[in-house]
């Protein structure tokens, strides 16, 4: 048995941890901490938060030798071992650990040292000296109050823990107990609405896949705060962060944008219980948490999940078909407006997630494409293509169902490039050309063609970048193009600070750079730059004064027309659309 005792030091944001075990031989003691957490594809060097570490055997100090950034070794001897270490915790995310006088949270990968060679033994946790008014929410199997035990180290780090003031909301979906553990500070809200909508989403996802579900019960850890957002999947739970204003207010009729985004987060991370926690790339079975695990298949696990997360909002009835179409238009627009789509394929985006997608900078929109967003659109096209070519006999739903059956039967991950092969073998369809275009080229996806098959017309319009895409009753007959500045910026009191400059844009052609602070447009202070820019006619020139690294500069900028890269969708056939959204 591997044992951990965890004691919080609230004011210093530190976890005091004692790892103990019996050793009956003289083999070296090897200790390691994961360098990344499954579902978040970046080497995070969690060991940097270990402040102190000491080893003892039978009460006597034993020298620990650090072999690399996250590995320690001691000369082996039989006896009762204790490893005492302190971990700093102030990472307000779903993938780290956080501790304050108000709450505690940890993902086990960043806290629990792994004892080499003993990963498949039972692991026991005891939480000690918690504040009297703190509750605990976790999917860890509970054996006594504040005592938990798992069958292996992998199971141990797959159950995050939330501590503090927690409100528990409960429901059943397909007979399976579900809980929402809500923490943070928030106003009163419509709990019945949240429970009903999340229940419908869960029941719809459970109904899509064959039984048994990957879990016997499920826990949503939802922490709300100020302007936060994120989620990380686990097999029988998920950690979520959301803005407190996204909780549904009383009297809300149709879900507003913030609440829709929250429901999408629930939907996305829940779907991962099947797609990536069960069905997964071969390289993830098992994970090697001490180095990068490269795969071209993230498009199939994050992209397909991103396709279904919004789709299940509509299929469950949590949002209306028109609201789904708006979400779809926004995704299409985001992909189209990124110049990175012309430089990086979906397969490349998946493979290079470790050093590109998860390490984005001011040039990322020009250099990379999101395997989440373009992956979702590729999944959309694939679903509609399969339905069309099979005459409705097959769909992406059925492909995913068979992938899950295969996982249940074999527990084997999918080898590289075999997702596409399996899809073609299952459906009996020749999809080679589609996969070559969608995954291995930078060609735009044939969205207009496939959307037309479900009653949606796609039109590209030269609208302001801030529009973001949406749904229209009709396609505008003649949309007058607007001037596009071609950069993202932060509006200050009387200036703007550039954060990204897009390739080929007005801003780039005027030699502007990220971090430039523009103080004047045609001699006037930039108190509302977007409105001031909108008054300029296409083709005209304007003077900009700006500071770069503390030095005043001047440039002339020519107003270029916005590209026709904003998606407007018109629902032409509601029957076709609703049939597809229902999964038929």
Q: Are 475 and 570 in contact (CB under 8 A)?
A: yes
Contact indicator for 104, 111 with CB cutoff of 8 Å: no
Distance separating alpha carbons of residues 584 and 578, to the nearest angstrom: 9
- Residue 224 · residue 186 · CB < 8 Å: yes
pLDDT at position 199: 98
Spatial separation of the C-alpha atoms in residues 569 and 328, rounded to whole Å? 9
Strand order in the sheet with 161-164: 97-99, 103-106, 161-164, 135-138
Contact between 493 and 470 (Cβ < 8 Å): no
User: What residues have CB less than 8 Å from 418, skipping those under 6 apart?
Assistant: none
Q: What is the pLDDT of residue 476?
A: 86
- Lookup: tokens for 103: 């709450």
Residues of the chain below pLDDT 70: none
Q: Which pLDDT score is estimated for 480?
A: 83
Rounded Cα–Cα distance for residues 105 and 207 (Å):
32
**pLDDT of 373-390, one tens digit each?**
999 999 999 999 999 999
Residue 387 phi, psi (nearest 5): -60, -45
| DSSP codes, 418-474 | HHHHHHHHHHT---HHHHHHHHH--PPP-HHHHHHTTTEEEEEE---GGG--EE-SS
Contacts 24+ apart (CB under 8 A), 412-415: 412/282, 412/285, 413/280, 413/281, 413/282, 413/283, 413/284, 413/285, 414/279, 414/280, 414/281, 414/282, 414/297, 415/282
Q: Quick one: pLDDT at residue 304?
A: 98
3 state SS of 326 = helix
Count of alpha carbons within 13 Å of 3, Cβ hemisphere only? 14
**pLDDT at residue 182, as a whole number:** 98
pLDDT of the residue at 583: 85
pLDDT, one tens digit per residue, over 331-378 is 999 999 999 999 999 999 999 999 999 999 999 999 999 999 999 999
Q: Are 293 and 287 in contact (CB under 8 A)?
A: yes
Residue 28: the pLDDT is: 95
Check residue 584 and give its pLDDT: 82
Would the pTM of this model clear 0.75, i.e. be above it? yes
Looking at residue 55, what is its pLDDT? 97
Helices (H), 59-172: 153-156
DSSP annotation of 413? P
Alpha-carbon distance 457 to 471, whole Å?
10
pLDDT of residue 135: 97
**The token pair that represents 205 in the structure block:** 């996802």
């Amino acid at each position: 048995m591997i044992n951990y005792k965890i004691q919080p030091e609230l004011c210093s944001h530190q976890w005091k941890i004692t790892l103990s075990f019996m050793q009956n031989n003289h083999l070296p003691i090897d200790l390691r901490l994961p360098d990344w957490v499954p579902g978040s594809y970046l080497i995070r060097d969690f060991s940097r938060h270990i402040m102190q570490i000491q080893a003892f055997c039978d009460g006597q100090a034993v020298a620990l030798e650090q072999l690399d950034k996250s590995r320690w070794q001691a000369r082996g001897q039989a006896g009762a071992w204790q490893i005492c270490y302190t971990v700093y915790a102030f990472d307000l995310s779903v993938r780290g650990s956080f501790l304050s006088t108000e709450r505690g949270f940890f993902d086990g990968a960043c806290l629990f040292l792994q004892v080499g060679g003993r990963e498949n033994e039972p692991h026991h946790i005891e939480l000690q000296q918690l504040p009297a008014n703190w509750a605990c929410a976790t999917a860890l199997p509970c054996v006594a109050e504040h005592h938990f035990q798992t069958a292996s180290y992998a199971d141990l780090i797959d159950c995050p823990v939330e501590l503090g003031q927690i409100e528990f909301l409960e429901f059943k979906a397909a007979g399976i107990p579900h809980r929402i553990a809500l923490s943070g500070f928030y106003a009163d809200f419509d709990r019945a609405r949240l429970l009903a909508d999340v229940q419908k989403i869960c029941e719809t996802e459970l109904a899509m896949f064959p039984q048994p579900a990957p879990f016997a019960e499920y826990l949503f850890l939802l922490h709300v705060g100020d302007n936060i957002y994120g989620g990380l999947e686990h097999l029988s739970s998920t950690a979520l962060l959301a803005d407190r204003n996204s909780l549904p207010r009383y009297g809300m009729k149709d879900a507003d944008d913030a609440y829709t985004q929250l429901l999408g987060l629930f939907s996305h991370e829940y779907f991962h219980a099947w797609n990536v926690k069960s069905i997964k790339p071969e390289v993830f079975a098992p994970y090697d948490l001490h180095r990068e695990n490269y795969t071209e298949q993230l498009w199939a696990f994050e992209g397909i999940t991103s396709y279904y997360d919004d789709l299940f909002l509509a299929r469950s009835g949590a949002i209306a078909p028109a609201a789904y179409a708006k979400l779809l238009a926004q995704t299409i627009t985001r992909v189209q407006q990124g110049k990175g789509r012309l430089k990086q394929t979906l397969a490349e985006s998946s493979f290079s997630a470790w050093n590109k997608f998860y390490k984005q900078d001011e040039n990322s929109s020009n250099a990379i494409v999101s395997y989440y967003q373009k992956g979702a659109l590729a999944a959309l096209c694939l679903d509609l293509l399969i339905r069309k070519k099979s005459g409705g006999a097959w769909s992406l739903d059925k492909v995913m169902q068979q992938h899950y059956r295969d996982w249940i039967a074999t527990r084997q991950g999918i080898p590289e490039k075999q997702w596409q092969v399996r899809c073609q073998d299952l459906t009996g369809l020749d999809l080679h050309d589609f996969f070559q275009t969608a995954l291995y080229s930078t060609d735009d996806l044939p969205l207009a063609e496939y959307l037309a098959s479900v009653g949606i017309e796609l039109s590209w319009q030269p609208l302001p970048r801030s529009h973001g895409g949406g749904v229209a009753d009709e396609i505008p007959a003649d949309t007058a193009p607007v001037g596009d500045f071609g950069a993202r910026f932060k509006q200050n009191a009387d200036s703007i600070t550039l954060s990204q400059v897009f390739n080929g844009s007005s801003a780039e052609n005027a030699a502007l750079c990220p971090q430039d602070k523009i103080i004047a447009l045609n001699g006037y202070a930039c108190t509302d730059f977007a409105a001031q820019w909108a008054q300029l006619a296409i083709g005209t020139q304007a003077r900009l004064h700006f500071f770069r690294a503390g030095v005043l500069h001047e440039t002339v900028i020519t107003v270029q027309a916005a590209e026709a890269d904003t998606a407007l969708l018109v629902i032409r056939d509601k029957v076709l659309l609703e049939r597809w959204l229902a999964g038929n």
